[in-house]
Amino acid sequence: MEKVTIYHNPECGTSRNTLALIQNSGIEPDVIYYLETPPTRETLIQLIKNMGISVRSLLRKNVEPFEKLGLAENKFDDAELIEFMLQDPILINRPIVVTSIGTRLCRPSEVVLDILPADQQGAFSKEDGEVIINEQGQRVEK
């Protein structure tokens, strides 16, 4: 079975939906509760590189540490931003999913469908009721 890893926060609806989409493909992923077990500096840097995004774009903006630390200002370099994320993992946006096909920040949750190595096995709706996968296991486009 193909290895899939999700950096997960069970308090986040997007993260829960992403995990459920992975499971709907028949895959039981390795779940890393990154708030309790944050990635190492090397892992975080590699995840960002593999996603092809900037360090700043992985920052979660709607949390108290973002405001408190003044992270909206462009006065911090990448190394400093990474250090803030390591010190306070709530600043890491999520969920991040790693598969053999790629690594993505899965916002919205259906982004995970682009990197899953297995097809959906049935219908799927997000927690809010939005249908993502129809009865035939096919993606429903908005």
Q: For residue 129, is pLDDT > 70? A: yes
The CATH code belonging to domain 1-34+94-142 is 3.40.30.10
Q: How far apart are CA 142 and CA 133, in angstroms?
A: 11
Beta-strand relationship, 124-125 and 96-98: unpaired
Tokens standing for 85? 């994320």
pLDDT tens digits for range 94-124: 999 999 999 999 999 999 999 999 999 999 9
Taking CA atoms, 61 is separated from 67, 80, 85, in Å, by 8, 16, 12
Q: What are the pLDDT digits (tens) for 27-79?
A: 999 999 999 999 999 999 999 999 999 999 999 999 999 999 999 998 999 99
Which residues are registered as beta bridge partners of 113?
none
Domain boundaries, the chain: 1-34+94-142
Cβ pair 142, 47 in contact under 8 A: no
Position 142 scores a pLDDT of: 73
Q: Which amino acid is at 115?
A: I
**Is the distance from CB of 110 to CB of 138 less than 8 angstroms?**
no
Query: Which pairing describes strands 5-8 and 30-33: parallel, antiparallel, or unpaired?
Result: parallel
**pLDDT confidence bin for 137, thresholds 50/70/90:** confident
Q: What is the pLDDT of residue 24?
A: 96
Taking residues 7-26, what's their average pLDDT? 97
Is the model's pLDDT at 1 over the cut of 80? Answer: no
Q: Which residues are catalytic?
A: 12
Enter the tokens of residue 49.
């590189």
Mean pLDDT in residue range 15-21: 98
| Cβ(59)–Cβ(32) below 8 Å | no
pTM of the prediction?
0.95
